[in-house]
Structure 1
Amino acid sequence: MELIDWTDAFENGAYIPGAEEIAAGWGRDAAAFRAATPPRTLRYGDGARQIVDLYLPEGAPRGLAVFVHGGYWHSRAPQDFAHLAAGALARGWAVAQPGYTLAPEARIAGIGREVARAVELAASAVAGPIRLSGHSAGGHLVARLACAGALDPGVAARIAHVLPISGIFDLAPLTASAMNAKLQLDAAEAAAESPALLEPSDAPMTLWVGAAERPEFLRQTRLMGEARSRSGRPAAEIYAPGLNHFTVIAGLADPASDIVTTWLETNP
C-alpha cells in the first residue's frame, strides 16, 4: 500500500495562492516580449513542436543560454515563457528556448532526445560557452543533458553551467501518480531517465528550488545534490526564500536578479 499520495505530492497549483493569476501573467508577459523581441525560429525536426526560439542580443553574443520549459512533459510551450529570456538577453547572451513533442505523443526518453537535438542545433548557430537551465520538467531535462553521453561530445564540452530549477530527478514516484496516464512511464524507463541515478558529465551544476515549494520538490533537490556528491561532482543547492513553484522562475526576466547572476556568472 502506498503511504504517499503521489498525485498530490506533485500538485502545485492548488497550494499556491493566486496560481491562476500568476499563470495568466506568464501568457501576457510572454506575448508582449515576443511582440517586442521577435525570435529567430530554428527547426530540428518535422514535428510541429520541434522548434527552437532563438533570441539574439545586440552585438556578438557572450554565449548561448538555453531555457527549457516545464509543464510535466505534457503541457506548455516555449512561447508561454518567452519573457524569461529577458534577463540573459540583456546581459549579452543569446537565449534558446526549445520546444518538444508532448506526452502522450512522446515518452520522456524521446522528449529528452529531442531536447538534446534542439540544444545541439542552437549550439551550431551560436558560438561560445553554453549555460543550460530549465524549470520543473525542464529542470529534469537539462539535468538529463548533464549526464554522460547525453549530448554530442563537442557540445557537451562547451557546457559551462547547468541550473535546474525545481527539477524532478527521480522519476519513480511519477509511476504512481495520476499523470502517468499521459506519461506512460514504467519502472525501467523511470530508472533510465532519472538523472539522480545516472553518471553525470563534467558539467558544473547548481540546483535551485523555492524554499516554499511542496515537500517532494525539496526532497528531489536534496536527492540530486546527494547523488552529485557521491559521484565526486558536487552541485551547489540554493533554496530561494519565500518562493514557490510558480514564483521561483520570475527572476529570470530580470538581468540583475540573483538567479540570472548565478546561472550566467557562476564558474564552479
Structure 2
Amino acid sequence: MTIMRGGTASQGTPIGILMADTVSARIPGDVGNGFTYDFPVRFYTVKGATAERISKGVDPELADALLDGARFLEAEGCQAITTSCGSLIAFQDQLASAVQIPVFTSSLLQASFAAQIIQPHKKIGILTDSARSLDPRYCTGYGLTKERIAIQGLEDTKAFYPAFYSGTDRYVYEEVEADVLWAAGKLIREHPDIGAIVCEGADLAPFSPAVNRMTGLPTFDIVTLIRLVASGILRGMTSPFQNRLNGGDTGVPPSWGRPPMDSEEAGKGGCV
C-alpha cells in the first residue's frame, strides 16, 4: 500500500529562488529563467530588493524581507533555497538559521570547494559585477585564504554593467558577452596561476560557458551550484543505472517539505 502525502499547497518544486526586485533580461541560462533548469523551480520576488540596495550591504529591513521570502518558499514545499544575487551571501547565516531546509545564497560558496580540487599553489579567480562592492572575506574560508584569490570586476564595462544596474530591461547579448570575456581574459593575464574560476555575479551564469571555453579552466556559477544541490535533493528520484530523473524505484515523488517517514514508520523494515 502506497500512502500519498501532502502537507503543502503544492509539491514538486525542489529549489526555491529569492529573486532581486529588478527588470533585467533573464535569458535561458540565467538564474531567473525557468528554462535554465531541467527540474521545476519556484521564484519569489523580494519586493524592494533592488541591485543598488543589495550592494550597500546588510540592511535590517531587507533582511526581514528576505527571511519572509525564505519562510514562504519553505512553506510552499521547496527543499532548498538560493538567491539571484551573489552579494546576498552577507545574509547566508541569517537565512540558513530561519528555515529547516538548506540555504545557499551565493556561488561564492563554491570557491573553497574549487580550491580543494586544483593544485595547492594555484589561485581561484573571482569574476564579479563590482570588485569595489565585493568583500574578499566572503570569498575565503574552509582553508581558502585571500592570498589564493584574484578578483576581477565588471563595474567599468560599457555593456555588461549597464545591462544589470541601469534599470533597463534589455541588452545586446554579443556586447555583454564580449565584456565578460574581456574581464576573464584580463583576470588570467594578470594572474596566470589561476586554476579555476568562480562567477560571483548571478547574472554572469549565461556567459560562464563562454568563459570556460576561452580559458579552458573549470568555471563555476550559481547555476552549477543549484544543479549540484538539486542533484542531492532529487537523488532518490533518479535511475540507479542512468543517473536520470525518472521517479526512482517506485515512481512516487518524495514527501516535499517534510521528512520522508514518521518515526513509527522508520522502525519498520530493515534487517531482521
Rg (Cα) greater in structure? 2
Flag whether TM exceeds 0.5 (same fold). Answer: no
Name the TM-score, length of structure 2 as normaliser. Answer: 0.38
Name the TM-score, length of structure 1 as normaliser. Answer: 0.39
